[in-house]
Amino acid sequence: MIKRRYIFKAPHAHLLIPKVATSTTSAILQNDLNWGTSPDVAHLNDPAWIKEAYPHLEPCDDWSFSSLVRHPLDRWVSGMAQKYAGAACGRDLSDENKLRVEALYDDERLGWYVRHPVHDEHTERQSDHLSEVIPEVVLFKMENIDELWVHLGIEPKEVHLHRTSGYQEEVAVHLRESIYRVPEYAEALSKFYRRDLVLYKIAYKPFHDCN
């Protein structure tokens, strides 16, 4: 069951996808600018709900949807590292997660994780999160997040960076190297996330590249 979260202020509704700059986007739109949040399009299209939940916001009958997307293999690596090494303070992992991280460092055992790639919301397909709003949604690559701010007509006063633990990043770096070192792993993940790859490729390029 896909759990969605939109951040909205008429006429814009931005769909958050886990592991795609959600902390940064939430901090700016929700915390700094006081936009509302909704779990689905049905709530966005219910003026009574908006009036009750967010009296300071106006309803809208023609939402402009946007979302950030990330290269799916990079997102999978980051999601796996967060799932099994993200709770670590240094290397203080649970016994179960220690075993899982050990498996991620073993090319042969890593194959099981590649064949079973979805472990939580951070490794679900981005295309499944976007299914409510395709084809209306305007997509931006995560690395071009500044273009999203232009699209939304805002100028963030400060950049909110979500920093991962050193150990989590260490695991992510190793995992990224491993899936590209074993060609069939990168191929299998690309096949599973093929719809995400298409969405990533068609996402808006930086405006200066379109001139």
How many CB atoms are located within 10 Å of the residue 55 CB? 7
What pLDDT, on the 0 to 100 scale, is given for residue 123? 97
Q: Please tell me the total count of domains within the chain.
A: 1
Which domain, by its residues, includes 99? 5-206
What pLDDT, on the 0 to 100 scale, is given for residue 25? 95
CB 154 within 8 A of CB 82: no
Distance (Å, rounded) from C-alpha 28 to C-alpha 13?
14
**What are the pLDDT tens digits along the chain (211 aa)?**
899 999 999 999 999 999 999 999 999 999 999 999 999 999 999 999 999 999 999 999 999 999 999 999 999 999 999 999 886 544 567 888 888 899 999 999 999 999 999 999 999 999 999 999 988 999 999 999 999 999 999 998 766 566 666 889 999 999 999 999 999 999 999 999 999 999 999 998 654 444 3
Q: Which residue is listed with tokens 């273009």?
A: 147
What pLDDT, on the 0 to 100 scale, is given for residue 209? 45
Task: Find how far residue 141's CA is from the centre of its chain.
Answer: 10
Please indicate, yes or no, if residue 178 is contained in any of the structural domains.
yes
CB 129 within 8 A of CB 15: yes
Query: For residue 197, which of 47, 61, 75, 62 has the smallest C-alpha distance?
Result: 75
Please indicate, yes or no, if residue 211 is contained in any of the structural domains.
no
Please indicate, yes or no, if residue 32 is contained in any of the structural domains.
yes
Please indicate, yes or no, if residue 104 is contained in any of the structural domains.
yes
What pLDDT, on the 0 to 100 scale, is given for residue 135? 87
Please indicate, yes or no, if residue 86 is contained in any of the structural domains.
yes
